[in-house]
Amino acid sequence: MLQGQLWNDMKKFCILFVIMTVAFSSGHAQTVFLDIDDTRPYTEIYMFPAYMTGTIQFEDGTAFTGQLNILLASSTLCFLDEDGNPDILQDMSRVTAVSIGRNYFIPLLEHYIQILDTDGNVMFGVEQYLELEAEKRYGAFGREEKSPNVPIEKRNLRSEGFNVSTGGRFLAGEATPYTVHQNAYLIRNKKAYALTERNFRRFFPGKRSLIEQYAKDHSLDYSNPDEALMLFKFLTVQ
């Protein structure tokens, strides 16, 4: 019962978020993902260029308002303490929603998912994070193995100067290599679904003819997050 109430509260918060941002986003082409410069050390890559006023909502009904940002490494929520020094919120399990400026996030898939639009029932969300020290399988003589029978081990790639996201670019000596992950989903009832024609039909059952016509008129690629978001926006105003 509590989980259902929390989900309803998040949907209401999302609707308010959309109302606040519609004037900001209307008439402008929207790019779903950040343009991440993967030559920079992970300690410099945040969701926003500066800390902004935001609110963290907790499961117990309390809230914290302060200066917030999200470090993309492991999707880490950061805040400025009373002295203006950065700190991190370690326990994501206590959080139900986060607003930073005009941006809204929910914890899902062990990351903070940014909600770009919603009709109050279904959300369009994006996941962006950096995976540090990528996991690999290593067999004899330290060679990388693809076989699932070889156990996964953590290896310190820092000493090798190897960037796993580019396949060979060198990073600064003090930087930890990382992999960039960027995904987009349809979200309902705290579950994430792939951007497919089937799922759009599933969540907009009364608008199947509109989906078909839009896809035909725009040569839609459902797996392209930018194009899928435009379809989502089209369906939410019809």
Return the pLDDT at 44. Answer: 85
The DSSP string of the chain is -HHHHHHHHHHHHHHHHHHHHHHHHTTS----S----TTS-GGG-BSSSS-EEEEEEETTS-EEEEEEEEETBTTEEEEE-TTS-EEE---GGGEEEEEETTEEEEEETTEEEEEEEE-SS-EEEEEEEEEES--EEB-GGG-B---TTSPEE---GGGGT--TTTTS----TTPPPEEEEEEEEEEETTEEE---HHHHHHH-GGGHHHHHHHHHHHT--TT-HHHHHHHHHHHHT-
Instruction: Report yes or no on whether pTM surpasses 0.85.
Output: no
Average pLDDT of the chain, as a whole number: 79
Residue 169 has pLDDT above 50, yes or no: no
Percent of the chain's residues with pLDDT above 90: 54
